[in-house]
């Protein structure tokens, strides 16, 4: 297994099927929504690869300004850590979040109580990951080793992991770095030969033009 830094800073989103619940508190008549956005030890099937969150992934993550959104929609903000209406943290299970629901979110509160909404998702920048092959599997396995920033955590109606292009580029970069040195040298030599041939042809064309 090899750790590598991400080549790009692009937001990734991951869904987690877990229990979301409403807690009634005396200081918030609208209720407090709680849930886990990510869980340690859970392996997610992303289609062409599998993925899990490393135990130390959030150790140095910036979680100073996390929005709690419904379905990742910025027009449906439920709370924000910066304003004190939401809180996020990490325990032995994973990344948890809780938000004091505003009155405008009564329909979301009711949907959670009824069990219509019971899943979460989160958005993040990843700083470091690793790729390997797991025994008995023909898929590459990715571990999120170090999260750089957590942007949002969201209760969602349809958890999905539709965009894996960032992960694909990460795997391609890892595979490129894993090419043996002799292979890289051969490639460099071939490129040099091509450049020399082109240069000679250009010089020959210049000569022909001058002599016409």
**Maximum mean pLDDT: which of 4-13, 81-90, 197-206:** 81-90
Average predicted confidence (pLDDT) for the chain: 82
Domain housing 147: 2-161
Q: Residue 35: inside a domain, yes or no?
A: yes
| Beta bridge pairs of residue 13 | 123
Query: For residue 53, what pLDDT band results from cuts at 50, 70 and 90?
Result: very high
User: 140 or 4: which carries more pLDDT confidence?
Assistant: 140
The answer to whether 156 and 13 have CB atoms below 8 angstroms apart is: no
Which residue is it, tokens 């009155």?
A: 103
| Averaged pLDDT, 5-15 | 69
Please state the φ and ψ torsions of residue 7, each to the nearest 5 degrees.
-85, -20
Q: Is residue 186 part of a domain?
A: no
184 inside domain: no
Residue 78 · residue 68 · CB < 8 Å: yes
pLDDT in tens, 58-71: 999 999 999 999 99
Nearest to 8 by CA among 129, 96, 115, 104: 129
Asked if residue 167 has pLDDT above 60, the reply is yes
pLDDT value of residue 1: 47
Is the pLDDT at 7 greater than 70? The verdict is no
> Whole-prediction pTM value?
0.75
In a domain, 89, yes or no: yes
Residue 211 pLDDT greater than 60, yes or no:
no
- Mean predicted confidence (pLDDT) in 138-143: 92
Residues sharing a CB contact under 8 Å with residue 149, sequence separation 6 or more, in sequence order: 61, 62, 63, 124, 125
Strand spans (E) along 42-157: 44-45, 49-53, 67-70, 73-80, 86-90, 94-100, 119-133, 140-156
Question: Could you tell me what percent of the chain has a pLDDT over 90?
Answer: 50
Q: Is 32 domain-assigned? A: yes
CB 126 within 8 A of CB 143: no
Of residues 103 and 202, more confidence is placed in 103
What pLDDT score does 28 carry? 76
Say if 42 falls within a structural domain: yes
Of 105, 114, 43, which Cα lies nearest the Cα of 75? Answer: 105
Is 155 part of any domain?
yes
pLDDT for 3 equals 47
Assigned domain for 22 exists: yes
Across the strands, what pairs with 68? 79, 153
Q: Report whether pLDDT(206) > 70.
A: no
Per-residue pLDDT tens over the stretch 174-190: 778 766 655 555 554 55
Domains held by the chain: number? 1
Of 26-40, 41-55, 163-177, 178-192, give the lowest mean pLDDT range. 178-192
74 φ/ψ angles, rounded to the nearest 5 degrees: -65, -15
Place of tokens 């064309």: 205
SS3 201: helix
């Amino acid at each position: 297994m090899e750790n590598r830094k991400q080549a790009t800073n692009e937001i990734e989103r991951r869904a987690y099927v877990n229990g979301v619940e409403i807690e009634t508190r005396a200081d918030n008549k609208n209720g407090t929504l709680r849930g886990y956005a990510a869980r340690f030890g859970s392996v997610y099937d992303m289609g062409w690869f599998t993925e899990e969150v490393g135990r130390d992934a959030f150790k140095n993550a910036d979680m100073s300004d996390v929005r709690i959104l419904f379905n990742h929609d910025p027009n449906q903000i439920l709370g924000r850590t910066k304003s004190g209406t939401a809180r996020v943290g990490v325990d032995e299970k994973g990344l948890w979040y809780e938000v004091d629901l505003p009155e405008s979110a009564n329909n979301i509160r009711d949907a959670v109580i009824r069990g219509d909404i019971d899943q979460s998702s989160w958005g993040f920048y990843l700083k470091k990951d690793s790729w390997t092959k797991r025994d008995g599997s023909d898929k590459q396995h990715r571990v999120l080793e170090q999260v750089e920033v957590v942007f949002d955590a969201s209760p969602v109606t349809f958890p999905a992991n539709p965009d894996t292009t960032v992960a694909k580029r990460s795997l391609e970069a890892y595979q490129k770095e894993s090419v043996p040195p002799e292979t890289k040298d051969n490639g460099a030599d071939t490129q040099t030969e091509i450049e020399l041939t082109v240069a000679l042809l250009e010089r020959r064309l210049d000569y022909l033009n001058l002599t016409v």
